[in-house]
Amino acid sequence: MTFTSEAPEVAGAVSERLALQPHLFVDGAAVSATHGGELAVVDPASGHRIGTAACGDAHDIDRAVRSAARAFRPGSPWRRMTPLERGKVLHRIGDAILDRADEFAELEVLDAGKVRGAARSIDVDFAARAFHYFAGWPTKIVGSTVPTSHPGIHIATEKEPVGVVGAITAWNFPLLLCGWKLAPALAAGCAVVLKPSEETPHSALWLAELAVEAGLPPGVLNVVPGRGADAGRALVDHPLVDKITFTGSTAVGQEIARRSADQVKRVTLELGGKSANIIFADADLDAAVEGSAAGLFWHSGQTCSAPSRLFVHRSVHDEIVRRLTAIADGLRPGHGLARGTELGPLVNAAQQDRVAGHVRLAREQGATVHVGPDVPAEGFFHPATVVSDAHDEMACATEEIFGPVLTVLAFDDTDEVLQRADASEYGLAAGVWTRDVSTAHRATRALRAGTVYVNGWGLTDPAAPFGGFRRSGYGRDLGPDGLEGYLETKSVWTFHG
């Protein structure tokens, strides 16, 4: 098989973005990091440095938070903006993303190691759709009147923006997560400081510029790339930040929850997962195999809801393992911008080592490991891998691997598999493949996960809440529940005699 890990030519606008002076985006303008911090930008598919980004620190976070707090003051242009106008601004941001969809997709490929087709049709499209969806909400945020038993008193509730939001995001969906976090926060009327992952800062910085061009007042959206231990912690600890919305690992989410508790700060946590996916014997096996493989292998398994724990009924187990390994063998690795690439790289060398370590351990623990064909030697690739003959207690069946590694476990009956599937500390997503409607209903009730798919996997919709049970987090992104996370409820009592 021939493949290339070198990037083909990229669009002029993308080269220009990568060549920009390293900057943060604060108070409506590009500014340098106060102490001149820099981050190397590396193309994961080649391992080569392709640019430099600014690395903000606690001082920069303070500047950005103060800018957001000013933008949120009573009487500011943002607070005076009507709900209808706020919705129009959000809509224009969505349009601006789509106007540059191909360039955004290329930028995501180079920054995050994505494959162009998926970056364009999933990341970019979904970011735009989140802004378009939430553009409809500002005019529909309503309170209620309260049927009080007190005579001469009128009570009404009002929904108000929570205030200054600190958003901290992961590297696996840099632009898409901007849509998930920023669109509902802005629809609610909040001001935001976003700290994107240090691995992937470019798309968020570009989006912030476009948002100001779309009519967002300066200071309402600030972007400070930087490291988690420095800029991230400073954002969590800042007393002027009213709420943290976080997408990332469970370990960091736990720390954020602990630190936020000191200030009783509101927190939404979208964390890791080890999602169970169950194929019953009566399922449409073609659809189940294709859907399960696609759900796991796209973005090289670096998705929070990856169906990485696949339970298969023993009667079809061997056939399904055979078909999954054939799919793994057929995935064409390469640079995400090269035509025909189906399997991109992992985000960095540390992640590559981690995934390889998990595969080694599975083999040492006695599982059967099928490693797909060779991948490019340069860059941070890992072959598509299927692990079978595994047990529920093995690390490959319990820990989030975040790589193209699918663990298959055999089961015999429905009660047994529902219990085993549910025996996880995570609860982000789950899936069930069956033609029997009562099996499907039993499973969707039994599986404690924020999203349960029946005969499909992996779609999201801006109108559908997304989030986790248990250690996959709390609170929700997207949909009305996502918006609610950026609102406070105020009861207004009027004594009218």
Hey, which residues are catalytic here? 270
CB of 467 to ligand NAD, least distance (A): 7
Q: What is d(CA 383, CA 16) in angstroms, rounded to the nearest whole number?
A: 33
The token duo for 31 is 């500014």
Place of tokens 């009956």: 413
Q: What is d(CA 119, CA 127) in angstroms, rounded to the nearest whole number?
A: 11
CB of 329 to ligand NAD, least distance (A): 27
Q: Cβ-count burial of 373 within 10 angstroms (0-12 exposed, 13-18 middle, 19+ buried)?
A: middle
CB of 180 to ligand NAD, least distance (A): 8
> Quick one: 156 or 459, whose CB is closer to ligand NAD?
459
Over 129-181, what HEC string results?
Answer: HHHHHHHCCHHHCCCEEECCCCCCEEEEEEEEECCEEEEECCCCCHHHHHHHH
Binding stretches for ligand NAD (CB under 6 A): 168-173, 195, 197-198, 227-229, 232-233, 236, 247-249, 252, 255-256, 270-273, 304, 400, 402, 428, 468, 473
Q: What is d(CA 123, CA 95) in angstroms, rounded to the nearest whole number?
A: 15
| Category of 97 on φ-ψ map: left (φ > 0), alpha (ψ -120 to 50) or beta | alpha
Other beta carbons within 10 angstroms of residue 283's beta carbon come to 23
Percent helix, strand, coil in the chain (nearest 5)?
40, 20, 35
Contact present, 293 and 327 (Cβ < 8 Å): yes
> Quick one: 232 or 333, whose CB is closer to ligand NAD?
232
Contact present, 410 and 312 (Cβ < 8 Å): yes
The token duo for 23 is 């900057």
> Quick one: 198 or 312, whose CB is closer to ligand NAD?
198
| Category of 422 on φ-ψ map: left (φ > 0), alpha (ψ -120 to 50) or beta | alpha
Q: Give me the count of residues in the chain.
A: 497
Nearest in space to 61 (alpha carbons), one of 163, 166, 161: 166
Other beta carbons within 10 angstroms of residue 290's beta carbon come to 15
Return the C-alpha torsion angle 469, 178, 250, 488, nearest 10.
Answer: -60
Q: What is d(CA 390, CA 455) in angstroms, rounded to the nearest whole number?
A: 24
> Quick one: 249 or 365, whose CB is closer to ligand NAD?
249
